[in-house]
């Protein structure tokens, strides 16, 4: 495999040819990594929808040093040798990201106080970093009634940003997809075929891949805010999946089970519904220790022990 040299925000890095700019930035890590709402490294074909990862390519390659005419989505653009990319060093990119955030929030309801995702929501983080406190739109937001898809998952279509991640999970992880995106353009909507229940062994992963609170765990619904629960790494013998999970405990009670997410909010391993929904007794799990939480996260709030 040939290595190519690429400069992102004046930091030079050598990556394999065929890597995307986003993944090259993730190799560098830190502040130069563009935020991504729809790209998911474990889902094939994801990315290119939300436009939050737009970056500026100041120099296309060593052979053709012309800049790219428009901002490019870094999750879908492959690096070329000698490419110079600007992310946080370009005011143009920051301006565009601010506008994209505003676009994503056009139809997003202001119901963070109610939403179970608050505290671990990517859109919340994004709007906190780039968003405006005010909106310029005067039109009504589109509204839908919450739907039960299956007996374990609740769909709040109001909150959906149409990242298609959940559809890809269903496509690539389960053998029979029964939900998808209906309608076009502004009328797009995630739904199942006439409220058909989603009941596949791995359908629960939709909840974890959802960057916002559109798909939430019904067994955890309104039980507690995430920052009042304490996350623990745990595992169990499971025939269907690896059984490696994070338990969200309040006292001795296990309120929620999720997969383990890395620092970009992506699951390390997909877990099965058995582990996620059916095992909430402390005896079911071998606890490995407290989950490391990023220092800036609200989940670490009021936890004085070193998480």
Partner 1 sequence: MQALTNRSKVVSDKKMTFMERIYIPAILKGMSITIRHFFRKKISINYPEQTREFSKVYRGQHVLKRDDEGRERCTACGLCAVACPAEAITMIAGERKPGEENLYREEKYAEVYTINMLRCIFCGDCEDACPKEAIFLTDRIVVSQYERSSFIYGKDILVEPLDQSLRIDISARQTEKVLNFKQDKRFAHNK
Positions touching partner 1 (CB under 8 A) are 111-114, 118, 128, 131-133, 146, 221-225, 227-228, 298, 301-302
Nearer to partner 1, 8 or 255 (CB): 255
Question: Packing angle between helix 91-104 and helix 122-130, nearest 10 degrees?
Answer: 130
Return d(Cα 108, Cα 106) in angstroms, integer: 6
In contact, 74 and 99? CB cutoff 8 Å: no
- Least distance from partner 1 to the Cβ atom of residue 52, Å: 17
Largest Cα–Cα separation, the chain: 62
- Least distance from partner 1 to the Cβ atom of residue 132, Å: 7
Nearer to partner 1, 120 or 266 (CB): 120
- Least distance from partner 1 to the Cβ atom of residue 133, Å: 5
Its sign, for the CA torsion 190, 49, 22, 19, is positive
CA distances from 291 to 83, 235, 300 (A): 38, 12, 10
Q: How far, rounded to the nearest angstrom, does the alpha carbon of residue 39 sit from its chain's CA centroid?
A: 8
Backbone angles phi, psi at 299, to 5 degrees: -65, -30
Nearer to partner 1, 222 or 294 (CB): 222
- Least distance from partner 1 to the Cβ atom of residue 186, Å: 25
Nearer to partner 1, 101 or 192 (CB): 101
Residue with tokens 């930035």: 25
Nearer to partner 1, 111 or 269 (CB): 111
- Least distance from partner 1 to the Cβ atom of residue 131, Å: 7
């Amino acid at each position: 495999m040939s290595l190519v040299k690429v400069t992102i925000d004046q930091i030079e890095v050598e990556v394999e040819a065929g890597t995307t700019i986003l993944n090259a930035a993730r190799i560098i890590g830190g502040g130069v990594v563009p935020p991504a709402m729809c790209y998911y490294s474990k889902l094939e074909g994801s990315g290119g929808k939300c436009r939050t990862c737009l970056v500026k390519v100041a120099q296309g390659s060593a052979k053709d040093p012309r800049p790219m005419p428009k901002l490019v989505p870094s999750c879908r653009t492959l690096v070329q040798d000698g490419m110079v990319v600007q992310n946080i060093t370009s005011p143009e990119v920051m301006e565009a990201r601010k506008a994209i955030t505003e676009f994503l929030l056009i139809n997003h309801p202001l119901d963070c106080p109610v939403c179970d995702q608050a505290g671990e929501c990517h859109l919340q983080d994004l709007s906190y970093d780039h968003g405006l406190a005010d909106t310029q739109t005067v039109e009504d937001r589109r509204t839908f009634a919450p739907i039960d898809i299956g007996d374990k998952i609740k769909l709040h279509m109001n909150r959906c940003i149409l990242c298609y991640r959940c559809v890809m999970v269903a496509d690539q992880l389960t053998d029979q997809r029964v939900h998808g995106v209906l309608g076009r353009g502004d009328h797009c909507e995630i739904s199942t075929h006439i409220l058909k229940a989603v009941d596949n062994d791995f359908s629960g992963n939709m909840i974890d891949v959802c960057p916002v609170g559109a798909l939430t765990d019904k067994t955890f619904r309104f039980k507690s805010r995430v920052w009042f629960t304490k996350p623990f790494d745990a595992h169990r013998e499971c025939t269907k999946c690896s059984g490696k999970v994070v338990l969200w405990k309040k006292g001795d009670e296990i309120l929620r089970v999720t997969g383990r997410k890395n620092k970009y909010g992506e699951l390390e391993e997909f877990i099965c519904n058995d582990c996620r929904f059916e095992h909430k007794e402390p005896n079911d799990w071998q606890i490995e220790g407290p989950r490391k939480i990023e220092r800036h996260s609200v989940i670490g709030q009021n936890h004085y022990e070193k998480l």
